[in-house]
């Protein structure tokens, strides 16, 4: 994750038994518009998350997309 400009938005990976834990889709940097669209739709339709948690994840995804693509206003 250190290759991404938006790596600071997401928590560090935790290691267990010498192998990294796979991060969920909503905690990864978003680099393309298609990837952003898929992840937002996936979070929006997830019934296990609260509204507040969904809002926070979507905000992080948009912030990540803006940082990765050097977009000033979105």
How confident is the chain (74 residues) per 10-residue block, as mean pLDDT?
A: 64 64 79 93 92 93 90 74
User: By residue range, what is the domain housing residue 52?
Assistant: 19-68
Task: Please tell me the predicted confidence (pLDDT) of residue 1.
Answer: 44
> Residue 40's closest CA among 63, 61, 68, 66?
61
> What's the rounded Cα separation, in Å, for the pair 44 and 25?
13
Average per-residue pLDDT for the chain: 82
Q: 19: part of which helix (H) or strand (E)?
A: strand 19-20
Q: Is the pTM of this model over 0.85?
A: no
- How many domains does the chain fold into? 1
Q: Dmax over Cα atoms in the chain, in whole Å? A: 42
User: Is residue 9 a part of any domain in this protein?
Assistant: no
Task: Please tell me the predicted confidence (pLDDT) of residue 37.
Answer: 95
Task: Please tell me the predicted confidence (pLDDT) of residue 55.
Answer: 95
In the beta sheet, which residues pair with residue 15? 20
User: Is residue 53 a part of any domain in this protein?
Assistant: yes
User: First vs last Cα of the chain: how many Å apart?
Assistant: 24
């Amino acid at each position: 994750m250190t290759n991404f400009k938006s790596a600071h938005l997401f928590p560090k990976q935790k290691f267990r038994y010498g192998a990294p834990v796979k991060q969920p889709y909503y905690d990864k940097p978003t680099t393309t518009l298609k990837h952003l669209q898929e992840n937002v739709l996936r979070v929006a339709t997830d019934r296990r998350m609260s509204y507040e948690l969904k809002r926070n994840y979507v905000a992080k995804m948009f912030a990540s997309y803006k940082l990765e693509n050097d977009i000033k206003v979105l």
